[in-house]
């Protein structure tokens, strides 16, 4: 006996169309589909043309919600498009993320050039603040349903780090741009342990490569007798030096600027990819003093990925202690 796939009505005289629907359901579903499909195409063409990341993200979200609203039919065995909706959704999200990733690169590299060309410190500071805000917005734009989501996020973090070292290395204007520093006065690690470990590993190899290039440059400049340029390169190398940053943080700690010191220790790990054990242990002590057990736990768990066998047990014990504290 014929039975409509959607309303479930059945009967000997019920006529179904090719999709297995009765005539009432068929015309209702077709009307709904046509209307939604039109909205979908409209948004799609906006996404294709737009240069505005916020519009691309919100339109993609809207397109996905349209497709989501049609899955109930597909679940009942009614074919909507000739490719499964799941696949269509994935394609939309992946495309959108990819487009946004390209925009992120463009935004960052053009702004970076602009900053380099600006003369006044004030102008540099306000330009830097603006890029920083824009970079932060991208974390909301990327769609977590995309297969490329984690890559997008990783790249965003790398660019944020590049931005941080740009504001610290190319000039001293970061001193005046307090709001550029995302960590400010408090201490917060916004990543999961695994994410942070991945980022630190990438940073570490990146910094090693940079140093290697700079060392070679130094040698060339010595050979050529270009001592002014040599000083600049040596300064750059020093800026990448873990021990140097560690010393600065240690001085801050001694002058009781504990939260600033903690942030600098963390920066040494997260941005410079430092593997100095003292840097990790000082940070853990400060986070304990600041009474931030969940951040302390994260740092300890991150440290476990980089630690020597000999110190492993001590940190594992510390982790147990922090967890007990957190349970209270
Ligand atoms: Zn029906």
What string of DSSP letters covers 81-135? SSS-HHHHHHHHHHHHHHHHHHHHHHHHHHHHHHHHH--SHHHHHHHHHHHHHHH
- Distance from the CA of 5 to the center of ligand 1, in angstroms? 7
Nearest to 238 by CA among 251, 247, 228, 226: 247
Residues in the chain where the model's pLDDT stays below 70: 166-185, 238-239
- Distance from the CA of 20 to the center of ligand 1, in angstroms? 9
Same domain membership, residue 231 and residue 163: no
User: Given this model, what pLDDT does residue 169 score?
Assistant: 52
Could you tell me the pTM of the whole model? Answer: 0.52
The range of the structural domain enclosing residue 160 comes to: 2-178
User: Given this model, what pLDDT does residue 239 score?
Assistant: 67
Same domain membership, residue 190 and residue 173: no
Q: Across all residues in the chain, what is the average pLDDT?
A: 85
- Distance from the CA of 73 to the center of ligand 1, in angstroms? 12
Same domain membership, residue 189 and residue 232: yes
Same domain membership, residue 302 and residue 262: yes
Mark which of 178, 207, 230 sits at the end of a domain: 178
User: Given this model, what pLDDT does residue 176 score?
Assistant: 43
Same domain membership, residue 14 and residue 160: yes
User: Given this model, what pLDDT does residue 322 score?
Assistant: 94
CATH number of domain containing 233:
1.25.40.10
- Distance from the CA of 13 to the center of ligand 1, in angstroms? 13
Ion ligand 1 — residues with CB under 5 Å?
4, 6-7, 22, 25
Our count of domains for the chain comes to 2
Same domain membership, residue 209 and residue 167: no
Same domain membership, residue 23 and residue 121: yes
Same domain membership, residue 164 and residue 145: yes
Same domain membership, residue 149 and residue 22: yes
Same domain membership, residue 249 and residue 125: no
- Distance from the CA of 26 to the center of ligand 1, in angstroms? 7
């Amino acid at each position: 006996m014929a039975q409509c796939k959607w309303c479930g009505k059945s009967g000997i005289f019920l006529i179904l169309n090719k999709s297995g629907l009765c005539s009432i359901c068929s015309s209702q579903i077709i009307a709904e589909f046509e209307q939604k499909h039109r909205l979908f195409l409209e948004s799609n063409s906006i996404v294709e043309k737009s240069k505005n990341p916020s519009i691309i993200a919100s339109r993609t979200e809207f397109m996905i919600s349209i497709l989501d609203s049609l899955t109930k039919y597909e679940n009942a065995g009614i074919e909507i498009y000739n490719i499964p909706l799941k696949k269509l959704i994935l394609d939309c999200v992946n495309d959108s993320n990819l487009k946004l990733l390209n925009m992120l690169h463009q935004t960052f590299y053009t702004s970076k050039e602009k900053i380099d060309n600006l003369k006044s410190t004030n102008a540099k500071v306000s330009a830097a603040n603006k890029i920083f805000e824009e970079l932060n917005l991208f974390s909301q734009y990327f769609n977590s349903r995309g297969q490329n989501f984690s890559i997008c996020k990783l790249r965003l973090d790398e660019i944020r780090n590049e931005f941080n070292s740009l504001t610290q290395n190319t000039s001293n204007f970061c001193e005046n741009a307090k709001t550029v520093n995302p960590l400010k006065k408090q201490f917060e690690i916004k990543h999961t342990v695994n994410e942070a470990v991945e980022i630190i590993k990438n940073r570490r190899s990146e910094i090693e490569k940079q140093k290697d290039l700079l060392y070679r440059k130094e040698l060339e400049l010595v050979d050529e007798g270009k001592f002014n340029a040599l000083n600049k390169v040596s300064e750059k190398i020093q800026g990448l030096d873990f021990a140097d940053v560690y010393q600065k943080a240690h001085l801050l700690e001694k002058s009781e600027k504990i939260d600033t010191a903690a942030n600098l220790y963390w920066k040494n790990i997260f941005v410079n990819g430092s593997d100095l054990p003292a840097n990790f242990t000082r940070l853990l002590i400060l986070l304990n003093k600041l009474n931030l057990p969940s951040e302390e736990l994260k740092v300890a768990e991150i440290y476990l990925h980089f630690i020597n066998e000999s110190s492993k047990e001590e940190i594992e014990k510390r982790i147990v202690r922090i967890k007990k504290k957190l349970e209270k």
